Every structure is written in structure tokens, then in C-alpha cells.
Amino acid sequence: MGVDPAKQFAIGIDIGGTNTVFGIVDHRGSIRYRGALSTKKYPLVNDYMDALHQAILPAIEQAGGKEYIKGIGIGAPNGNFYSGTIEYAPNLSWKGIVPVAAMIKERFGVLAALTNDANAAAVGEMMYGAARGMKDFIMITLGTGVGSGIVANGQLIYGHDGFAGELGHTIIIPGGRLHTGTGAHGSLEVYCSATGVRLTALEMLAQQPAQDSLLRNYDPEEIDSKIVDDCARKGDTLAREVFRFTGEILGKALANFVMFSSPEAIILFGGLCKAGNLLLDPTRKHMEENVLPIFRNKVKLLFSELKEADAAILGASALGWELK
């Protein structure tokens, strides 16, 4: 359209169960404008789309109009890259299959693409974060749930149907803890998510009634991964054991992933990373112990280099740049 590419922008939108954040990003990865709106407030997706359009429009005009927008990238739970749809997302009130990319394209008059939030974070990390220059890496998001984005040969792996990379649901301990959301036993997510950390803490408190712990000062109902983290930092033995155990399961899972795609690095992202070496050390130990010698001491285990608030926007915007 005759617009200097260096003056173009991409829009990144991250749709979460509670909030949506978005930003206008320049080609260097600087977020030039950012905003947010409540996802929950709009049980009808059409109302949500109208509100989103209204919220972003002033920023587009500030950027010089829609011809300065190369594309819009969207990260969303259960987002399918191939179809541009969100499909049966348990944490969103919009049910069934929602053609999000098409709806955004129609409202904004700009090309749009969508993928799941963990894939978007992986792309963000590859363009602007710890995975710059890497062609083979795995992003693991340790938050309310456990998500993943897998890059091989420099490309995201979407699989034949767009749903590849559900590593949080791989079974690490057959017959292990029940995941009440999926019905599976012993999946990675039921141990290594924020919820998993809470459940491990409650189990350990119940199983070791004689052991002192700062965690006993809290109502079990209120114990969450942040409280476990706080207690662990204060040197609480039981709280530290929670992260050691979490790292053991995570490390065993990562060993299997390494033997699948032999990544240069595994990048950890999300709330649980705040535990730092309390989580990283046991994770690395059990990953190394469980891989074939041929993979040992080769895979970098890194924390994300992107601010959590920015990663989702940057990753989503990266999809926008690739649109033609």
C-alpha cells in the first residue's frame, strides 16, 4: 500500500479468561501503546468484539490509520492457528467454536491470525527474548495451568489439526494424582501448575502432621503457590520440599520432551518461575538423570527474558508481522 515497512506496526492481543491485554508494537519489538479490557464482562462474543474494536481504534488512528497496521495477532486459550477459531475453551464464557480471527478481520479491516497463548509466548521469546536465534526450543508456561509451545526447524509445531503442544496433559506418573478438569491421572499439569503446587503443599502438610511449617499458619483454603513461595523464601523446609518435588516431576517430563525434539533450550515462563533456583535446580537434576547420555548437559534450561505482561502481547504481535 506504499507505506514504508519500517513505519508499520503490528497489533498483539492476548485474550485471557479474566482480562484481555493488547498493544501496538513496532518492528523493533517496542510496545508503543498498550491497553486492556475485561474479557469476563462480555458473555456474548459479539459484544466483546465491539468493545475490543472501540478500545483499540484510538491507538490505530494514532499510528496513522489501519494502512500502517501490518496485521493483528491474537493469543487465546484453545486457539487454533489453522482455522483462526477458539474451540471449546473451558475458561471462556463463549462456548463451542468461535471464529475469532475472522471477526477481528471483519471489524478492523486488517489481516488477523490466532494461536494459543503458549504458542504466542514461544514466538515472542523467539523474536524478542531468550530464544532469539534459536531454531529448536520448547517453551513451557507454568501458570494456573501448564501450557507449551514447541519450535522445531525454526517453525512452531501446530500438528495436523492445529492443536499440537499440549505437553501439560502428557502423563508423567501413570495412575497418579487426579486432574479434576480432564479426568486424567498423573499429568504434568496436575503437579506443576500453581494449582498443583497448592495440592502438593496440602498433601505434604497432611502426610507429615508432626513437621513444623510456616504453612500451618494459614487456613488450608487460602494456601496458594504464592504463599508456598513466600514460605520457601523464608527457609521453610516443607515449602522448599514442595518446590523440590515439583521440580522432580517437571524434570522427568522435560527429559521425555528432550528425547522427542532435542531442543537447544527449554524456556520456563509464568508464575511458578518466581521460585527461581528452588524450582530450577531439582528440575535440571531430574531432567539430566532421565535423558539418554547423548542428550546430557546439552540442553539449556532458561527462564523467560520477557516481562510476563509483555510476552503475550509481543508473541501475539509477532504472528501479525507474518501475515500477507
Residues near its own copies, by CB under 8 A: 78, 87-88, 134-136, 150, 152-153, 155, 157-167, 169-174, 182, 184, 252, 255-257, 259-264, 290-292, 294-295, 298
Instruction: Between 15 and 89, name the residue whose CB sits nearer to its own copies.
Output: 89
Instruction: Between 51 and 134, name the residue whose CB sits nearer to its own copies.
Output: 134
Distance CA 78, CA 50 (A): 22
Distance in Å, CB of 77 to its own copies, minimum = 12
Distance in Å, CB of 248 to its own copies, minimum = 10
User: Which triple of cell numbers denotes residue 78?
Assistant: 484453545
Distance in Å, CB of 177 to its own copies, minimum = 14
Distance in Å, CB of 92 to its own copies, minimum = 15
Return phi, psi of residue 206, to 5°: -75, -40
Distance CA 311, CA 317 (A): 10
In the chain, which residue ranges form alpha helices assigned H by DSSP?
45-62, 100-108, 117-128, 188-192, 194-207, 225-233, 237-261, 277-290, 308-321
Instruction: Between 24 and 121, name the residue whose CB sits nearer to its own copies.
Output: 121
Instruction: Between 264 and 308, name the residue whose CB sits nearer to its own copies.
Output: 264
Instruction: Between 29 and 176, name the residue whose CB sits nearer to its own copies.
Output: 176
Instruction: Between 12 and 165, name the residue whose CB sits nearer to its own copies.
Output: 165
User: Which triple of cell numbers denotes residue 8?
Assistant: 508499520
Distance in Å, CB of 146 to its own copies, minimum = 12
Distance CA 130, CA 120 (A): 14
Q: Which residue is it, cell 502432621?
A: 209
Distance in Å, CB of 204 to its own copies, minimum = 19
User: DSSP per residue over 190-237, as a string?
Assistant: HHHSHHHHHHHHHHHHHH-TTS--GGGGS-GGG--HHHHHHHHHTT-H
